[in-house]
DNA sequence: AGATGATCATAT
DNA sequence: ATATGATCATCT
């Protein structure tokens, strides 16, 4: 296979290219991309995501943009079990801990990131080597009205706590579908946040993550067909 | 076993 | 430190 470094020009082109990856092993994709295959993902957690980005022509780098800005599409890999169950939560974006006045759901990063997602289920089996794992069938998703309400309700609950200086009281157990968890390089990473008395405090950076039950719901509505 | 809290790599 | 890409590893 030839690697396609061009950016896809249309949604259809992106979709076709993503579907063409179904069934392919990470070994062949890595070889085509000229990438070395890690023994495991312990020290290469974002490796699969980057591998797929390369194959689909996404903009590499650290820019705070969607993967395909012209198409308004965000790419997300989703590790799944052989039964099609999500194996991990899905990181969405970092959580703003200061300057939160005025930010509402409609203008939130969470909503904007999730407006249109190209999900790429990937073989998440840890009992086989990375090279042997394969890509699943890609699909486009936009949140339904009901799903957007689920996310909005959780987002508002989290943002209320953050705005009220209760960041440190936030637990990953909170939120039915969307949770807030640490998102940092290590325990030394600190950022500003609003403290209980309204003053600025230093805390571990946090991020919004989709709980498994949310992505499970997406997978089910997508792959459940009437037989 | 599954989820929570912690962590890993890279670029800017 | 912040953004991107996430999974690890410990605890319950």
Q: Which CATH class is domain A11-226?
A: alpha beta
> Separation of CA A9 and C1' B2 in angstroms?
41
**Minimum-distance nucleotide, CA of A174 to C1':** B4
Specify the pLDDT at position A64. Answer: 81
Q: How confident is the model at residue A59 (pLDDT cuts 50, 70, 90)?
A: confident
* pLDDT of A1 above 90: no
Q: Is the CB of A43 under 7 A from strand B?
A: yes
| Annotated domain spans of chain A | 11-226
Whole-Å CA distances, A17 to A6, A25, A133: 11, 15, 19
Whether pTM exceeds 0.95: yes
> Separation of CA A60 and C1' C5 in angstroms?
10
* pLDDT of A96 above 80: yes
Contact by Cβ (8 Å): A134, A123: yes
Q: Which residues contact A3 (CB under 8 A, 6 or more apart)?
A: A32, A33, A34, A54, A55
Q: What is the pLDDT of residues A60-73, one digit of tens each?
A: 677 888 999 999 99
Q: What is the pLDDT of residues A129-157, one digit of tens each?
A: 999 999 999 999 999 999 999 999 999 99
> Separation of CA A11 and C1' C6 in angstroms?
25
Report the nearest residue to nucleotide C2, CA vs C1': A62
């Amino acid at each position: 296979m030839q690697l396609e470094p061009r950016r896809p020009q249309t949604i259809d082109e992106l979709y076709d290219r993503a579907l063409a990856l179904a069934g392919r092993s990470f070994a062949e994709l890595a070889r085509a991309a000229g990438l070395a295959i890690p023994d495991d993902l312990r020290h290469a957690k974002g490796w699969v995501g980057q591998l797929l980005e390369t194959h689909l022509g996404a903009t590499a780098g650290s820019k705070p943009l969607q993967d395909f800005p012209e198409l308004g599409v965000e790419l997300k890999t989703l590790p799944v079990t052989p039964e099609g169950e999500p194996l991990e939560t899905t990181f969405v974006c970092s959580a703003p801990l200061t300057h939160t006045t005025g930010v509402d759901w409609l203008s939130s990063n969470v909503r904007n990131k999730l407006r249109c997602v190209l999900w790429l289920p990937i073989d998440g089996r840890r009992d086989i080597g990375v090279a042997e794992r394969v890509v699943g069938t890609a699909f486009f998703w936009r949140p339904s009205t009901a799903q957007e309400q689920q996310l909005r309700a959780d987002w508002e609950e989290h943002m209320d706590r953050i705005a009220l200086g209760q960041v440190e009281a936030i637990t990953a157990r909170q939120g039915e579908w969307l949770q807030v968890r640490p998102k940092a390089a290590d325990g030394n990473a600190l950022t500003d946040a609003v403290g209980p008395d309204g003053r600025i405090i230093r805390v571990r950076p946090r991020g919004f993550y989709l709980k498994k039950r949310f992505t499970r719901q997406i997978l089910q509505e997508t792959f459940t067909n009437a037989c």
